[in-house]
Amino acid sequence: VKDTYDREESMFVKAQKFMSAQQGAGENDYDFLLRVEDLSRQQEIGSSNRENVMRERFALCVSVKGLRNVKVRQELMAKPDLTRLL
């Protein structure tokens, strides 16, 4: 029975969870960033240095988009290069 119902999530489910990540009520910014980073590592992007840089930048964009604090989100979106914050 376990083999039938204990399936791994498809890449589409993993991608949806990653792309739609939203900061939960009471979740601090750092914990949210760590959660999005973990979700990004579940994506089948690759493991080369270039692919890791792309994944990290994409995770940063998803993190900013999912922040609950609108003022902070707008301030971060107004910056020309968020990677300088890393």
What's the pLDDT tens digit per position in 71-81?
A: 999 998 898 88
- What is the structure's pLDDT at 82? 76
Average pLDDT over residues 54-78: 91
- pLDDT of 2 above 80: no
Q: How many CB atoms lie within 10 A of CB 19?
A: 13
Spatial separation of the C-alpha atoms in residues 79 and 81, rounded to whole Å: 6
